[in-house]
Structure 1
Amino acid sequence: MISVELARSLRDAGLRWHPDTGDRFVIDKPGVDEDVYTVSEMTVERHDHPTGTILGFNGTTEWALDSVTADESLWLPREDQLRDLLGPAFVGLTRTVTPAGGALHTVSATIGGADRTFAATDPAIAYGEALVAYIAAALE
């Protein structure tokens, strides 16, 4: 899973979230951004209104929370969502075993006409870093 910091970088780069079932998110406020929630029809339900999207908490017992706006939330995209968002820029993913026995995942992407690589121990992080670069290049 990507970090809250990487999710903020994605949002700040221009990635917009349209909440859907299965999406993970945190409340983007200090002190409460450690609990990860999942949009689902049973516990966290999306309610679309002309003024914006509200995420309603149905029967949650973690703390007294009825709802938050999507703007107060921070999306934590999954690995598959990040890969899909890279679209045609995505070239490939490789996994290399390190001498210490761990794994390093490298995402290859063509961004701004140049071949680039992004490596991390978690493939979702490598995809997220590639997507930040892809969005930044597209907005230049």
Structure 2
Amino acid sequence: MLSIDLARRLRRSGLRWRPRPGDRFVIDGDAFGDEVFILSDMTIEAHEHPTGTVLGFNGTTEWALDSVAADDSLWLPREDQLRDLLGRAFRSLSRVPALGEGLDGETVAYDVRTRRPGAENDESHLSGDPEDAYALSLLSFIDASLTPDD
């Protein structure tokens, strides 16, 4: 799952969330720690209001929480959502040898390769988690799009 630190960096970079069923999020702050919630038509629904989107918690008395503004929540995009955001720049995801220990004693990392329009070479971003590798690629793409050409 995408790290909260990278999710915060994506939000600060300008990535906007339009809540949809199946989206994962945390309530940004210390009250709920790192508890991950998932939007669902049955338990947590996004309600659009003129003042903004509110995430309504249905029947969750154990959390003593009726609703929270989407702006007070932090979206944790899934791998497929991050890949979609990269669009045509996405080239590949591969599992590669890396330092450290992975599953079953294997040493692995995930390499997301992208290519910016007009570039001759792919750019590579490595992480121990595929969603983090996608997020690093997306952050690089966003940063490059905001930097004027020399």
Scaled by the length of structure 2, what TM-score is found? 0.87
Q: How many residues align?
A: 140
> 1:126 maps to what in 2?
133
Q: Deviations over 1:54-103 (max 9, x none)?
A: 00000114410010011000000001100110011111111124585132
Cα offset, 1:33, TM superposition: 3.7
Alpha-carbon distance between aligned partners in 2 of 1:31 and 1:132, rounded to the nearest angstrom: 28
Give the structure with the higher percent strand. 1
Alpha-carbon distance between aligned partners in 1 of 2:35 and 2:61, rounded to the nearest angstrom: 13
SS in 2 for 1:107: strand
Question: Is 1:136 aligned with 2:143?
Answer: yes
Question: Relative to 1, partners in 2 of residues 1:62 and 1:86: Cα closer, same or farther, differing over 3 Å?
Answer: farther
Question: Relative to 1, partners in 2 of residues 1:19 and 1:134: Cα closer, same or farther, differing over 3 Å?
Answer: same
Structure 2 residue runs of 5 or longer lacking an equivalent are 100-104
SS in 1 for 2:34: coil
Instruction: Determine which of 108, 126, 130 is the counterpart of 2:113.
Output: 108
> Could you tell me the percent identity over the aligned residues?
54
Alpha-carbon distance between aligned partners in 2 of 1:94 and 1:48, rounded to the nearest angstrom: 38
Amino acid in structure 2 at the alignment position of 1:101 = E
Alpha-carbon distance between aligned partners in 2 of 1:84 and 1:63, rounded to the nearest angstrom: 33
Runs of 4+ in 1 over 6 A off after TM superposition: none
Q: Deviations over 1:2-38 (max 9, x none)?
A: 1111000000011000000000000011242411000
Question: Relative to 1, partners in 2 of residues 1:62 and 1:78: Cα closer, same or farther, differing over 3 Å?
Answer: farther
Structure 1 residue runs of 5 or longer lacking an equivalent are none
Scaled by the length of structure 1, what TM-score is found? 0.92
Alpha-carbon distance between aligned partners in 1 of 2:137 and 2:86, rounded to the nearest angstrom: 8
Question: Relative to 1, partners in 2 of residues 1:62 and 1:131: Cα closer, same or farther, differing over 3 Å?
Answer: farther
Higher alpha-carbon Rg: 2
